[in-house]
Amino acid sequence: MKRRFAYVIAVLVVCLISGSAIAQPQKGERFNKERAGKMQMHKQQAKKHMMLNLTDEQKEQMKEIRMTGVKESKPVRDKLRELNARKKTLMTAENADMKAINNLLDKEGELKTELAKLQAKNVQKIRSLLTEEQRMKFDARVGKGHKRGFSKGHHRGSFQGNEMRKPGRRG
């Protein structure tokens, strides 16, 4: 009886240890948000390519436009992140400097406008590569990038008046 009980305990311990070892990420397997985001982006790009029936040449040209766009927008996005960090610091200060906050908000608007212009330029470059039929399909999809999740400005909730609304709800 004691032997059987010891055997059952030993089996349980082995199962628990092996189960927790399997559940833990292995060396080099940590979840990487950036890599997951890139994989999602590649899936979306492949889906778009299939919907438009792109030629291999068009795919290469679009990839080049995308890479150039990323390179052009990176410094602007970096400035925007830095600006947002400074804005958060100023807005959470004991005595908020409204003049400095307003200046940062003006700069933020300029940077967002610059990003929008870069995006519009790249959309037009892509449109120029497409046939008439492809362009019609592409134009029908432009602006639908926020189909899942929340649209811009509704990440954690929005202030309306003095109340905090839940994201995605109107009213």
Domain spans in the chain, listed from the N-terminal domain onward: 52-134
pLDDT of residue 140: 87
- What is the model's pLDDT at position 121? 95
Q: How confident is the model at residue 161 (pLDDT cuts 50, 70, 90)?
A: very low
The pLDDT value recorded for residue 141 is 81
pLDDT value of position 51: 78
Q: What is the pLDDT of residues 16-54, one digit of tens each?
A: 665 555 555 555 555 566 667 666 666 666 666 667 889
Q: How sure is the predictor about 142, in pLDDT bands with cuts at 50, 70 and 90?
A: confident
Q: What is the mean pLDDT of residues 134-142?
A: 87
* SS3 label, residue 159: strand
pLDDT at 128: 94
Banded pLDDT at 101 (limits 50, 70, 90):
very high
At residue 28, the pLDDT reads 55
pLDDT number for residue 98: 93
Residue from 38, 32, 108 nearest 66 by CA: 38
R_g over Cα of the chain: 25
The closest alpha carbon to 96, from 105, 149, 160, 125, belongs to 105
Residue whose pair of structure tokens reads 């909730």 in the numeric block: 157
Q: What pLDDT is recorded for position 159?
A: 41
Report pLDDT for 12: 62
**Distance of alpha carbon 96 from alpha carbon 27, whole angstroms:** 46
* The CATH number of domain 52-134, selected from 3.90.550.10, 1.20.120.1490, 3.90.950.20, 3.40.190.10: 1.20.120.1490
CA-CA distances (angstroms) from residue 29 to 18, 24, 59, 61, 99?
A: 17, 9, 31, 33, 47
Q: Are 100 and 128 in contact (CB under 8 A)?
A: no
pLDDT in tens, 57-94: 999 999 999 999 999 999 999 999 999 999 999 999 99
Query: What does pTM read for this prediction?
Result: 0.57
DSSP letters for 20-60: HHHHSPPTT----HHHHHHHHHHHHHHHHHHHHT--HHHHH
Of residues 36 and 104, more confidently modeled? 104
